[in-house]
A and B are shown apart, each in its own frame.
Chain A
């Protein structure tokens, strides 16, 4: 019989200054060698549970921890985070904020160096960990030159080199494209098959993770609601109740009016666009046009040129060769502020895009530079805040909102200028099923109002439910421009 490696007994935890507990009466046992998948909507307590396993709770976060957390026979209350690090490796969501050194092999050595592992042993551990994640050939490469998928593989290797028996991964693929995610899942599959490590994975993308997990735990409101075999993930009613994405994505496009029969009225026209960065990456000979009222999904792996292309729509980048027209305006000599009146581009992270003290001011700030009356500003701000379900929160500080609300606020701030086109860059990364459905509903509402939508996303689910057409990019060029129905039957995706 396999021994228990993680035991949680009636664990209740409340963060400092919080009124409600983030975990409530959690009982959990995980055996050595098990692969456990934890799912649930954002804020359900998944990450809090993970933080209990390596002692970040109670040592880093403090707060009030009741009950017992025993990991590898050690009570986490009585052992510091660095002591527990020998037993529990932790891979975080953001690859940028968990790598400390310049070269890959130094990064992998960082953990064991902290424990004073002798040089000979250290070298062996680094070699083994790099082999596990298939990164041996990139050992001397600077970390910042790696793709996000490779960075996450380095993060896994950096934990493996400490030889922990337990590996906890907190949404490791949230920021990755499908290729990068697959790289991480392949490593987890190898670890499961070739070692006896216990793996605890927190993930929204149940499609990949459900293939490898022995057990699935569904959490909601700080409690464990289901603890069962992965088959539970295929019971759609349960998933919908808990705001979890289904592993079997229904990729049927919503019925939408066909636009091809209408007179051609382009809002964006890209003609033979060439652009290159000093790093050497370039997009070449891109041609596309966007008709008024269309909804287009721009897809492609990381580094294929998607963001470079959409930055041309608002003048953040100017063509080296070719032309880009936005509502008839040549972007070459147009100011970003001028183009921003026509095209609203929402970047991926809302935290970069919120500057003011209240939700109301956040939306109103860009109107105050225009010659509009106070009443007109009030009317327009109220209208968009109501469309985005934020009117009740108009006096709150933007940074006190939830991530989903912040994203809706950035959309509201863009819509208030009444643009012709709304472009969203990766709007669903790290999003649970509940918030995904909310966003899809909002986008379809805007679409019905006649707004032209362009979504840049790896997420076929949102594209299939919002877009009429997809543009596929690879290596800086368009490789397909076709109706959504054709994309959905493409087996390569």
Chain B
């Protein structure tokens, strides 16, 4: 189930205009959102920013995948704001807390937009184009590829513990981690050895400059998206300076 949730978005069927953007555009977008959310002081404008980002998630067709964390963030913020009001008898603390959560939500949503609409390969390529060394990006993509394998391994180990007649819950695992960690460590060491062998056998480490089947390039969509982002951000900042409450 988790595997499907994490990786479904990389299949070819789920596409949106945001999926088509160059990952560097999305990295730039995150940077702008971070700057604007730090700079904005008005709670109303911060909420406007967060809501506009939710609209982006909707356009990207990833609202469902992100909903769990967003509901958690919104729920926590309401709980903390109400608690602040009850204990301080003042709205000021609640407003400051709400601003903090609005900023966090905006940044998190922008992060989702990158992570859930970009394949690890494209993200690695964009990082390489930004001069991040290829061994680091390789580790990143391989780690992403191995999340499903890791989940499968842990599940099989938990099943084997149960099959030995040992009832386990996470509390037991924390108390006696050997049941998970010994077999998992052995499996991971052996898998990483096999991976390293396979990588070298496929030319990884060659001194040649890596080329790519799919080269990243800025398109019309990237320029339009960045232009809208900049105009919208400027509008928010101007409105903030204009004293909108």
Cβ–Cβ contact A101 & B145, under 8 A? yes
Asked if B104 CB lies within 8 Å of chain A CBs, one says: no
Q: What chain A residues lie within 8 Å of B121 (beta carbons)?
A: 101-103, 106
The answer to whether residues A116 and B210 also contact, given A340-B165, A347-B159 and a CB cut-off of 8 A, is: yes
A81 to chain B, nearest CB (A): 4
* CB-contacts of A346-364 with B (<8 A): 347, 349, 351-356
Cβ–Cβ contact B202 & A354, under 8 A? no
Q: Considering the complex, give the chain B residue whose CB is closest to the CB of A139.
A: B12
Q: What chain A residues lie within 8 Å of B191 (beta carbons)?
A: 96-97
Asked if B224 CB lies within 8 Å of chain A CBs, one says: no
- Docked CA distance A60–B206 (Å): 15
The digit string for B146-179, where 1 denotes a CB below 8 A from any CB of A, is 0011000100110111111111000000000011
B162, B202, B203, B204 pick with most chain A CB within 10 angstroms: B202
- Docked CA distance A50–B12 (Å): 37
Cβ–Cβ contact B4 & A279, under 8 A? yes
Cβ–Cβ contact B156 & A102, under 8 A? no
Q: What chain B residues lie within 8 Å of A117 (beta carbons)?
A: 211
* CB-contacts of B208-229 with A (<8 A): 208-215
Asked if A126 CB lies within 8 Å of chain B CBs, one says: yes
* CB-contacts of A92-119 with B (<8 A): 92, 94, 96-103, 105-106, 109-119
Q: What chain A residues lie within 8 Å of B3 (beta carbons)?
A: 144
Asked if B195 CB lies within 8 Å of chain A CBs, one says: yes
The answer to whether residues A316 and B183 also contact, given A80-B205, A82-B205, A113-B212 and a CB cut-off of 8 A, is: no
Cβ–Cβ contact B203 & A82, under 8 A? yes
Asked if B66 CB lies within 8 Å of chain A CBs, one says: no
Asked if B1 CB lies within 8 Å of chain A CBs, one says: yes
Cβ–Cβ contact A344 & B213, under 8 A? no
Asked if A407 CB lies within 8 Å of chain B CBs, one says: no
A116 to chain B, nearest CB (A): 3
- Docked CA distance A106–B157 (Å): 31
Among A82, A98, A341, A356, the residue within 8 A (CB) of B195 is A98
Dominant SS among interface residues on chain B = helix
The answer to whether residues A355 and B179 also contact, given A60-B200, A118-B211 and a CB cut-off of 8 A, is: yes
- Docked CA distance A336–B159 (Å): 9
Asked if B7 CB lies within 8 Å of chain A CBs, one says: yes
The answer to whether residues A99 and B145 also contact, given A142-B10, A335-B167 and a CB cut-off of 8 A, is: yes
Asked if A278 CB lies within 8 Å of chain B CBs, one says: yes
Cβ–Cβ contact A111 & B195, under 8 A? no
The digit string for A150-165, where 1 denotes a CB below 8 A from any CB of B, is 0000000011001000
Dominant SS among interface residues on chain A = mixed
Q: What chain A residues lie within 8 Å of B195 (beta carbons)?
A: 97-98, 100
Interface size on B, residues (CB 8 A): 58
B139 to chain A, nearest CB (A): 10
* CB-contacts of B131-146 with A (<8 A): 138, 141-142, 144-145
* CB-contacts of A408-463 with B (<8 A): 413-414, 417
- Docked CA distance A399–B183 (Å): 9
Cβ–Cβ contact A351 & B190, under 8 A? yes
Q: Considering the complex, give the chain A residue whose CB is closest to the CB of B204.
A: A114
Asked if B119 CB lies within 8 Å of chain A CBs, one says: yes
Asked if B199 CB lies within 8 Å of chain A CBs, one says: yes
The digit string for A61-84, where 1 denotes a CB below 8 A from any CB of B, is 000000000000000000011110
A residues bordering B, Cβ < 8 Å?
Answer: 54, 56, 59-60, 80-83, 85-86, 88-90, 92, 94, 96-103, 105-106, 109-119, 122-123, 126, 140-145, 158-159, 162, 278-279, 314, 316, 335-337, 340-341, 344-345, 347, 349, 351-356, 365-366, 369, 399, 413-414, 417
Would you mind naming 8 contact pairs between A and B with Cβ atoms under 8 Å apart?
A98-B198, A102-B145, A109-B212, A114-B210, A116-B209, A122-B212, A337-B162, A366-B164
9 shortest A-B CB distances, which residue pairs? A116-B208, A114-B203, A97-B194, A98-B198, A109-B213, A81-B200, A353-B160, A340-B165, A336-B162
